[in-house]
Structure 1
Amino acid sequence: MKFRKALFPFTFALALGGSLLLTGCDNNPANSNQAKLSTVNVQVFETNPLNYTVKVALPARVVASQIAEIRPQVGGIILKREFAESSNVTEGQSLYQIDPAIYQANYDSAMASVASAEASAKIAHLTMNRYKDLLKTKSISQQEFDKAAADAMQADASVLVAKANLNTAKVNLGYTKVYSPIDGYIGKSNVTEGALVSAGQSTAMAIVQKLDPIYIDMTQTATIFEKNEKERNQIYVPNEKVEIFFNDSRKYEYDGHIIFSDKNVNETTGTVILRAQFPNPNAEILPGMFLKPLLTLGNIENAILVPQKGITSDAAGNYTAIVAIPVPADQELTFIKETLLARLPKQDSESGMKENEQKAEQEALAIIKAHKESDKKDTPFYYFEKRNDVKVYAGISGYWIVTSGINAGEKVVISGLLNLSSIPNLNTPVYRTFANIVADPQSLTQEQLDTLIENSVK
């Protein structure tokens, strides 16, 4: 950085003819008849309002959006595998054929049972109808008619049982064809033709996984997750998206989005799961892969970033900073006069106080006159102001993200703080100190910030 002459010129001291002494750093009130105007050489950082994107890289594992473990619902011998391993299958596509012979026989037997039951029911109803006419002529007893009616009802029930058995046999026969319940990718088959399978076996015959869309399960510590939730809409404006970068630094062409955040904390790891969904038309992302996606939580608009060397902390742990404040041109006389007057010995008499007023005003006018005649006449006077209420959000690559206490466009002292640290109270006129800014202010551009963010999450 190119250095230049101090913005607050020392040359005007000569114009005072020795009546004003400029000191490199004077932190004691004047105790003589000569006022002292303290100055310190510093370098500053000029803040700019920037757009800070809150990003975090998280470990993650890829899982299929749907998983179907193919298991037989009836037992038997596998007659045929009807799909190509490591291929895509569609919902309803036949995968296996189990030997249907015994199930076909059971189905045929059940159909015969239904026919037999229906025939028996027909005879029972005919008998009941004949008995109904005979009952009218008192040719049979009431007891005989009641028995015939009960036999007819029992025959109807037998028909229902036979039909239920037929339906079961039909279902079991249908189960000898094993279909895919979803669209997806099917890997290797765990059984071959001739293998014996049983209903509800623990080992899947094959697994079908839906890969488009694909899920990315990210893990984040519960404390950080809770912190981010509290800061949502307070510190940053939510604008969530998820990006993936491959090992060769190539960015995946599609962005993902969060579909849910698990509210259960893993007792062992103290983490929660955040699930993102990505389009995966070309199956570039496969289940089981371990990735480190980049999660964007949102944006801090008009963020203020300050070098960490310009932010200190006091004994109570509060963040503080010292800012170089320009004196408005129309207030220079009043401001400098007030500073000089505070450093003159106090007078009890009215004449003494008036003498101090006149002396301070004369010296202030001399300072201003000398400044206007210098080659830095267009540069304002700067004084130091200590900020004790600085709030920071987070740090990134040597910078603090300041949320309050420092405003855009202000010049924060980043070099020369040691000379200012021993001054009791910069914010009072008696200890007020002026700044000699000895170099062009440093600053941070949006492009530089974006690079810092990118590098911090790699």
Structure 2
Amino acid sequence: MTKVLPKYRNSMIAIGLAMALTACDQGAPTAAQGQAPRATAVESVILHTQPVEITDKLPGRTSAYRVAEVRPQVAGIIVKRLFKEGSKVEKGDVLYQIDPASYEATLDSAKADLVSAQATLQKAKLQAERYKDLVKNRAISEQDYEDAEATYRASLASVMAAKAAVKTAQINLDYTQIKAPISGRIGKSFVTEGALVTASQTDYLASIQQIDPLYVDLSQPSNAVLKLRQKAKNEEMKLSGIKLTLDDGTKIDQPATLQFADVSVDESTGTVSLRALLPNEDNTLLPGLYVRAAVPVDYIEKAILVPQAAVSRDATGTAHVKIVNSENKVEDRSITTTRVIGTNWLVTDGLKEGDQVIVSGLQKIGVGSLVDAKQIDKQ
């Protein structure tokens, strides 16, 4: 039996361990070199051009389309009120009744005067006709004939005056019924039965407002109005109606239509007054409401919109986005943005249709990183 010396045995073990370690060191790089780089999962959107309407947010108030203050046109005592406060009235409806007795008597007197004048006219006419024949036969003098003609013409004028008096008396009698000058909602009555009213009084009896449609009065900076007018001259504008919301954010379903812009600028505020027309068929909206209006000022046929989450800014304020190139690697792109539209930035430079912009996972990647981009729908 062969005996191995202790020193020799220890040397053989050491050599074996060294050879094993060398083999491991040589095999490690080979395994690492066989692994492909890992792609980072991100979410992206593909950009597409789309039509966009640019709007300005303006404050405004609603006002009645028509307002009529009901006033008496003759003097007298109110004997009846014929409407319910806050109700809808139609043009021509009787609102108040003034005591008509004295006006009826005046009308009867005027009619009697007319009958008397007509009888006198008939007598004068017959006499003038007889004198005309007599003067031809020299049975009467020329003076007598001329006097008869003058009497006839005076009687004719008296009849015309009597007719005018009857008409005036009838008008005054009609005015004892105070009628609605317009259709709309009538407000509070400031007089009751038994009140004395006069034709020359300054206080009105009630007010009627037509609230379908309503006016919406807005103020827009003068420079924005000038730009809009200039653009309208240079190209065809495709602007829709003005969209409105109440002060609490409630949307008004019907859009308003711009009616006119004032011809002068308010020197104290530098704004121009605008007026829009708002349908209000169910009469739910009232005059005096504070509203916010989205007024169309521009229309872009092919706009590029990028989600706000995809945009970052550097120390100089320049906007940047990360895009995925044809090799599925990340590129940085500086862009020019103008305004926010919904949840997106409107981009005027730096991007084009078909670019793939990363919107999620930006904190895990850098320029040149390999990514696995999952496309999502842009909101």
TM-score by shorter chain over 0.5: yes
CA 1:445–1:195: 2 relative to 1, 3 Å: farther
- What corresponds to 2:353 in structure 1? 408
Where does 1:296-375 land on structure 2 (aligned, <5 Å)?
A: 296-297=296-297, 299-305=299-305, 307=311, 309=313
Deviation at 1:167, TM superposition (A): 0.9
Measure, in 2, the Cα distance between the counterparts of 1:260 and 1:446.
40
> Number of residue pairs matched?
326
Q: Which moved more, 1:176-185 or 1:240-249?
A: 240-249
Measure, in 2, the Cα distance between the counterparts of 1:108 and 1:447.
83
- What corresponds to 1:379 in structure 2? 327
AA in 2 matched with 1:437: G
Offset from partner CA, 1:232-267 (integer Å, 9 cap, x none): 587995322223334554323333322333333223
Measure, in 2, the Cα distance between the counterparts of 1:45 and 1:311.
26
Measure, in 2, the Cα distance between the counterparts of 1:170 and 1:91.
21
Q: Which moved more, 1:154-163 or 1:215-224?
A: 215-224
Contact 2:333 2:350 in 1 (8 A): no
For residue 109 of structure 2, give the secondary structure of its aligned residue in structure 1.
Answer: helix
- What corresponds to 2:40 in structure 1? none
AA in 2 matched with 1:144: D
AA in 1 matched with 2:313: K
Contact 1:242 1:255 in 2 (8 A): yes
- What corresponds to 2:294 in structure 1? 294
AA in 2 matched with 1:260: F
Name which of 366, 369, 373 aligns with 1:438. Answer: 369
Identity, % of aligned positions:
36
Measure, in 2, the Cα distance between the counterparts of 1:445 and 1:228.
36
- What corresponds to 1:224 in structure 2? 224
Deviation at 1:275, TM superposition (A): 2.2
CA 1:289–1:93: 2 relative to 1, 3 Å: same
Measure, in 2, the Cα distance between the counterparts of 1:447 and 1:234.
33
Where does 1:24-423 land on structure 2 (aligned, <5 Å)?
A: 48-232=48-232, 238-297=238-297, 299-305=299-305, 307=311, 309=313, 379=327, 393-394=338-339, 401-403=346-348, 406-409=351-354
Q: Which moved more, 1:130-139 or 1:83-92?
A: 130-139
CA 1:236–1:447: 2 relative to 1, 3 Å: farther
CA 1:211–1:398: 2 relative to 1, 3 Å: closer
Measure, in 1, the Cα distance between the counterparts of 2:336 and 2:299.
18
RMSD: 3.9
Measure, in 1, the Cα distance between the counterparts of 2:75 and 2:58.
46
Contact 2:313 2:320 in 1 (8 A): no
CA 1:116–1:325: 2 relative to 1, 3 Å: same
- What corresponds to 2:19 in structure 1? none
Query: Which structure 1 segments of 5+ residues have no match?
Result: 1-43, 314-318, 327-377, 414-434, 449-458
Deviation at 1:224, TM superposition (A): 2.0
Contact 2:313 2:319 in 1 (8 A): no
Deviation at 1:187, TM superposition (A): 0.8
CA 1:292–1:381: 2 relative to 1, 3 Å: closer
CA 1:64–1:411: 2 relative to 1, 3 Å: same
Measure, in 2, the Cα distance between the counterparts of 1:381 and 1:91.
74
CA 1:295–1:444: 2 relative to 1, 3 Å: farther
Contact 1:311 1:321 in 2 (8 A): no
Measure, in 2, the Cα distance between the counterparts of 1:196 and 1:441.
88
Query: Which structure 2 segments of 5+ residues have no match?
Result: 1-43, 359-365
Deviation at 1:444, TM superposition (A): 11
Offset from partner CA, 1:4-45 (integer Å, 9 cap, x none): xxxxxxxxxxxxxxxxxxxxxxxxxxxxxxxxxxxxxxxx99
For residue 59 of structure 1, give the secondary structure of its aligned residue in structure 2.
Answer: strand
For residue 267 of structure 1, give the secondary structure of its aligned residue in structure 2.
Answer: coil
TM-score by length of 1: 0.61
Measure, in 1, the Cα distance between the counterparts of 2:219 and 2:210.
22
Offset from partner CA, 1:394-424 (integer Å, 9 cap, x none): 45699763445653345899xxxxxxxxxxx
Measure, in 2, the Cα distance between the counterparts of 1:107 and 1:154.
23
The structure with the greater share of residues assigned to strand is: 2
Measure, in 1, the Cα distance between the counterparts of 2:273 and 2:351.
36
AA in 1 matched with 2:327: T
Which one has a bigger Cα radius of gyration? 2
Deviation at 1:57, TM superposition (A): 2.2
CA 1:196–1:384: 2 relative to 1, 3 Å: closer
Measure, in 2, the Cα distance between the counterparts of 1:145 and 1:124.
11
Offset from partner CA, 1:85-130 (integer Å, 9 cap, x none): 1111111110011122222222111111111111111121122122
